[in-house]
Amino acid sequence: MSIESRHIQLMDTTLRDGEQTQGVAFTPTEKVSIAKALLQFLRVDRIEVASARVSEGEKEAVSQINQWARQEGFADRVEVLGFVDHTRSVDWIRSTGGSVINLLAKGSEKHCREQLGKTLEQHSTEVLQTIAYAHEQGLKINIYLEDWSNGYKDSPDYVYGLVDRLRHSPVSHFMLPDTLGVMAPDEVFNSFHDMCGRYPDLLFDFHPHNDYGLATANVMAAVRAGISAVHCTINCLGERAGNASLAEVAVVLRDKMNMQLSIDESHLVRISNMVENFSGKRVAANAPIVGADVFTQTAGIHADGDQKGGLYKTRLGPERFSRTHSYALGKMSGKASLKKNLERLEVELSEEDQKKVLARIVSLGDSKQTITTDDLPFIIADVLESKSYQHIKLLNCSLNSGLDLQSTVSLRVEIQGENHQATGAGSGGFDAFIDAISKVLKKYDYRLPELADYEVRIPKGGHANALTECVITWNCGNELRKTRGVHVNQVFSGIMATIKLINIQLHEMKSSAE
């Protein structure tokens, strides 16, 4: 069923409904920062920033937001949830300099009867009384019909009766929430199609929740049925399973339904990161649009296809969100994945060196699932300076360390075709390894030189799972020698650097003997 393209308002309720997420409480400064970002940079049409009469801290935050909004021309786009309490919510909002109240009425007969103990007539009279006072005080008025989804299903006549009593009052938007997230797309479409057809002169908003993981699909159904605005949150924050994700809704409405929106997509990820940091609720790496990994290709065949003709690219490209495409390096990597990353680093390698580097990446991928572009210079440097000497091979090595306990090592090595086992102890894992390997090397009249320096580092901006590079400077008599080891474990990076030196010196001993 085709539908005509039209403008859909996005109302962000991160600062109100999103703050009802378990464990989330924004400070006034954080609230102001998020509000400014939403309106000034992301350009959402409206924001809901608080519930009236919650706390003095909330009042301070709302006052600061409203003061800024008035100066910037956004005053009528900042909304506060209010209650059917005649003057109290209205006066609270007015005292903060607010211009809009989102009045919370009962959208289901069961809530009205069992929670309030009132009839439709009694409740609607009190709602109209609060509306009249808000209008008298100069506020713009929207109204929530709380639990509308269950109310419409269980007692549609109650819903019609409430809307009939309010439709001629000064209400701008009738906001219909799926408060408990119980609707499926066909139910959303049928109910909104009925409401929009029955009341063509009213503006309806849809306020979805994501309890069944259907929030975005439900938004599509509501828009298809004719609603004019959708409520969302950044990062899907909200009670229980959260609200609809603003990023998902925005992209789906544009790409899949050809709707017109006000928002600037290039700021979605930056604001997602801001809310993630302030809320303490982490975004899944595979979350659509804003997840850390969603524009990363892992399989080598995908990188190959993109290189040969953009075969795996879609309209959902990273550039529109101020992001970049990346190609993960690991055990599933191919030549194309490596080439893409080398291009990004502006590094050229011969075909032979690319093969060596790729082999090392695949090997590391067994112990570290993904190698980043930041890790790659370490690997390149390590591979290019490595010689093909195989006088000593580390076959196995087990480390045990504990707080205030000596570290122990058990290892198995092959030297010139012969297997050896040894154990060692020391003040740390590397010290224990040196003790163990020295016992083996005595049999070959070889003694490790003294350490002159030992440096461990990770890539700039690296994460806790970044590769570790260890560069050891050895005091080899008349000269200092440096060897490098790269591994996901910093102790093993030192061990790799040590094995490299042993290989070099065993080779020199063999050559001089010949």
Please tell me whether residues 46 and 186 are part of one structural domain: yes
Q: What is the pLDDT of residues 9-20, one digit of tens each?
A: 999 999 999 999
Structural domain count, the chain: 3
Q: What is the pLDDT of residues 307-324, one digit of tens each?
A: 454 555 677 777 787 766
**Residue that is written with structure tokens 């590769």 in the block:** 467
Q: What is the pLDDT of residues 200-246, one digit of tens each?
A: 999 999 999 999 999 999 999 999 999 999 999 999 999 999 999 99
| Predicted TM-score of the model (pTM) | 0.68
pLDDT-above-90 percentage for the chain: 64
Cβ-proximal residues to 486 (8 Å cutoff; 6+ apart), any chain:
364, 378, 379, 382, 467, 468, 469, 470, 493, 496
* Span of 293-297, 400-404, 409-413 with lowest mean pLDDT: 293-297
In a domain, 286, yes or no: no
Please tell me whether residues 362 and 405 are part of one structural domain: no
Mean pLDDT taken over the chain: 87
In a domain, 287, yes or no: no
Q: Are 511 and 389 in contact (CB under 8 A)?
A: no
Please tell me whether residues 220 and 358 are part of one structural domain: no
**Mean pLDDT, rounded, for 266-283:** 91
Please tell me whether residues 103 and 202 are part of one structural domain: yes
d(CA 229, CA 263): 13
Residue 298 has pLDDT above 80, yes or no: no
Please tell me whether residues 341 and 420 are part of one structural domain: no
Task: State which of 279, 310, 331 marks the end of a domain.
Answer: 279
How does residue 478 score in pLDDT terms, banded at 50, 70 and 90?
A: confident
**Mean pLDDT, rounded, for 439-461:** 87
Please tell me whether residues 197 and 242 are part of one structural domain: yes
In a domain, 435, yes or no: yes
Query: What local confidence, expressed as pLDDT, does residue 299 receive?
Result: 46
> Residue 507 phi/psi, 5° resolution?
-65, -40
CATH of the domain at 202: 3.20.20.70
In a domain, 265, yes or no: yes
Query: Catalytic site residues?
Result: 16, 146
Residue 27 has pLDDT above 60, yes or no: yes
Which residue, among 496, 506, 510, has the nearest Cα to 446 in the 3D structure? 506
Please tell me whether residues 153 and 271 are part of one structural domain: yes
Query: What local confidence, expressed as pLDDT, does residue 244 receive?
Result: 97
How does residue 325 score in pLDDT terms, banded at 50, 70 and 90?
A: low
Which residue, among 387, 373, 342, 423, has the nearest Cα to 500 in the 3D structure? 387
Residue 498 has pLDDT above 80, yes or no: yes
How does residue 303 score in pLDDT terms, banded at 50, 70 and 90?
A: very low
Query: What local confidence, expressed as pLDDT, does residue 277 receive?
Result: 87
Residue 329 has pLDDT above 60, yes or no: no
Which residue, among 365, 377, 282, has the nearest Cα to 328 in the 3D structure? 365
**Mean pLDDT, rounded, for 259-264:** 96
d(CA 246, CA 45): 12
CATH of the domain at 462: 3.30.160.270
**Residue that is written with structure tokens 């804003």 in the block:** 290
Query: What local confidence, expressed as pLDDT, does residue 374 receive?
Result: 59
In a domain, 378, yes or no: no
Element (H or E) spanning 458, and its range? none
Per the model's pLDDT, the better-predicted residue between 93 and 317 turns out to be 93
Identity (one letter) of the amino acid at 416?
Answer: Q
Task: State which of 247, 279, 311 marks the end of a domain.
Answer: 279
In a domain, 288, yes or no: no
Residue 474 has pLDDT above 50, yes or no: yes
Q: What is the pLDDT of residues 146-190, one digit of tens each?
A: 999 999 999 999 999 999 999 999 999 999 999 999 999 999 999
Please tell me whether residues 352 and 398 are part of one structural domain: no
Domain span at residue 307 reads: 296-366
Per the model's pLDDT, the better-predicted residue between 505 and 75 turns out to be 75
Which residue, among 66, 55, 67, 69, has the nearest Cα to 26 in the 3D structure? 55
Please tell me whether residues 434 and 469 are part of one structural domain: yes
Please tell me whether residues 320 and 396 are part of one structural domain: no
For every residue of 483-513, DSSP letters joined together read: EEEEESSHHHHHHHHHHHHHHHHHHHHHHHH
Cβ-proximal residues to 272 (8 Å cutoff; 6+ apart), any chain:
234, 235, 247, 283, 290
Please tell me whether residues 230 and 347 are part of one structural domain: no
How does residue 375 score in pLDDT terms, banded at 50, 70 and 90?
A: low
Please tell me whether residues 274 and 302 are part of one structural domain: no
In a domain, 240, yes or no: yes
Query: What local confidence, expressed as pLDDT, does residue 420 receive?
Result: 95
**Mean pLDDT, rounded, for 471-498:** 87
CA 55 to chain centre: 30
How far CA 382 is from CA of 92, 236, 487, in Å, comes to: 65, 43, 10
Residue 301 has pLDDT above 50, yes or no: no
**Residue that is written with structure tokens 């795996």 in the block:** 312
**Mean pLDDT, rounded, for 246-272:** 95
Classify each residue of 361-389 as buried b or exposed e, where b means 16 or more C-beta atoms within 10 Å of its C-beta: bbebbeebebbbbbbbebbbebbeebeee
In a domain, 4, yes or no: no
